Structure formats: structure tokens, C-alpha cells
A = this chain, B = another copy of it.
Amino acid sequence: MTRATHQSIRKAIRQRIVAGEWKLGELIPGEVEFAEEYSCSRSTVNRALQALAEEGIVERKRKGGTRVRPLPMPQAQFRIPLLREQVEGAGHSYQSRIRVREERSPSGVIRDRMKLETGVRCSYLETLHLADQRPFAFERRWVNNETVPEFRTADLAKLSANEWLLMTVPFSRGDVSLSANAADREASEALAVERGAALFTMDRVTWLQGRSVTAVTLFYAPGFRLDFEI
């Protein structure tokens, strides 16, 4: 047999837990015990068990030992795909059309979401994203000109606003909110659907060190699904 790695031990223990070797909430062996069983050092077991804790499979407490999570918490990890990748990944050609690009003072709701002072001006964009020439998503976006002043003169011909921001302000954190909304007049026109149609909606606000970067609302055309695994 090949030498035990922290990954193989992690898998093995995970399998034993899933198979029900220990009940929910039950104490499982300690690091030293596992180390003997798998003939490896305690550090190796430690890594494996820490990983299982991050996965949400076990809980660990000093002195309390390691136990199977009493209440499993299904958790998902997934990428928020770029529209371009979503479209091209499905084998279609991607295009986008900017319908509005101007400077505006955002409404109170948006000011609130972006934590802006009154009177701050933002770039405002409305963009229609197309898959094989057909409407795929309709986007309303506000960009904080104080956080990203270069955006005003950004060339959005090759890169979409989202892509431009990803390159310029990478790894920013964000708050995302998914919901379902009835199509309003503009969205229904842009997407060529009836008013009131059920649209999958993603709202996102991203932050760079406490300052808002952009607030975007994305209405997906009917039929869109966001898939992932848990």
C-alpha cells in the first residue's frame, strides 16, 4: 500500500462518517488514535480533520474532541459565472449592447445600498446581453465614480463593464441577493417578454475596502437556471 496522505485520510474518514460508522453528534477518535490506525503522524491526521471541519462534516473543540456534526449543514460553493462564459459555455455566441451610459445621481435606494453621500454622481449603464442574437439578460449598473474614477473613460467595446471592473478592481468582496421579480416595462421591452413575466434576478454590490464599487441588477431571460452542487 502507498503511504497515507492527508487527502487519502480525509477521504477515508469522510467515507466512514457518511456510511454511518458514528451517529450524528457522536465523538470520533482523536488525532493520536487515527494516527496509529493509519500509521502516520498526528500532523497528517490533523490536516485531514481540519479539512473535514471546513467541509462542515465534523466539529472540533479543544479538549472536547472531534464529533460528527449534530445537524448537517448543507453548504454550497460555486462560482458566479461571467455572462460571457455562461453564454459561450452553452455553445452560443456572446454579444452585449450598451443602451444607456451616462452620469446620474442615484436614487435613495441605490444611495443606501452603495452607502453614498447625497449628491454623489455615478456612472449609470443599461446593457443588454445576447446569446446568439437573442436577449439573455438585462443589466442595470451603477458605478461609484469616486472609488473607480477611471471607469468614466473606460473603453467598453471589448470588455463588458463587469469584465473591466474585474480586471481593474480584482478580488473585491460583494453582497449578492437572488430573487424572482416580475418584468417591469423596461426589462420586458429589452428582453422581449411580456410585462410581469417571472425573471430570475441577481443583485450584487461589491466593495473595495469599505467603499462601494458597483451595484448591479441583472434580470435573466425566462428559462434561465443557476445550477450548482452541494
* CB-defined contacts of A171 to chain B, threshold 8 Å: 14, 17-18, 57, 72
Q: Is A53 in the interface zone, CB < 8 Å from B?
A: no
How many residues on chain A are close to B (CB under 8 Å)? 49
**A28 adjacent to chain B (CB < 8 Å):** no
A61-104: which residues lie under 8 A (CB-CB) from chain B?
68-69, 71-80
Beyond A180-B181, A182-B198, whether A229 also contacts B77 by CB under 8 A is: no
Of B14, B76, B174, B182, the residue contacting A229 (CB under 8 A) is: B174
**Quick one: which of B75, B180, B209 contacts A78, CB cutoff 8 A?**
B75
Task: Specify which of B79, B177, B181 is in contact with A227 (CB 8 Å cutoff).
Answer: B177
Compute how far the CA of A70 lies from the CA of B220 in the bound complex, rounded to whole angstroms: 27
Task: Please tell me if A109 contacts chain B, counting CB pairs below 8 Å.
Answer: no
Query: What is the CA–CA distance of A204 and B224 in the complex, to the nearest angstrom?
Result: 16
Instruction: Known contacts A166-B71, A181-B198, A199-B198; decide if A176 and B76 are in contact (CB<8 Å).
Output: yes
CA distance A74 to B213 in the complex (A): 15
Q: List 8 A-B contacts (CB under 8 A).
A: A74-B174, A75-B80, A175-B227, A177-B225, A178-B178, A180-B220, A182-B198, A198-B199
Report chain B residues within 8 Å CB of A68: 170
Shortest Cβ distance from A175 into B: residue: B229
Q: Is the CB of A180 within 8 A of B177?
A: no
Residues of A within 8 A of B (CB): 14, 17-18, 24, 57, 68-69, 71-80, 166-167, 170-182, 196-201, 204, 209, 220, 222, 224-230
A226 to B176, CA, bound (A): 8
For A204, what are the chain B residues with a Cβ–Cβ distance below 8 Å? Answer: 230
Within the complex, the shortest CB–CB distance from A218 to chain B, in Å, comes to 12
Q: Which interface residue of A179, A201, A227, A228 has the most chain B CB atoms within 10 A?
A: A179
- Judge whether A227 and B176 touch: CB under 8 Å: yes
Contacts A73-B79, A75-B79 given; indicate if A229 touches B173 (C-beta within 8 A).
yes
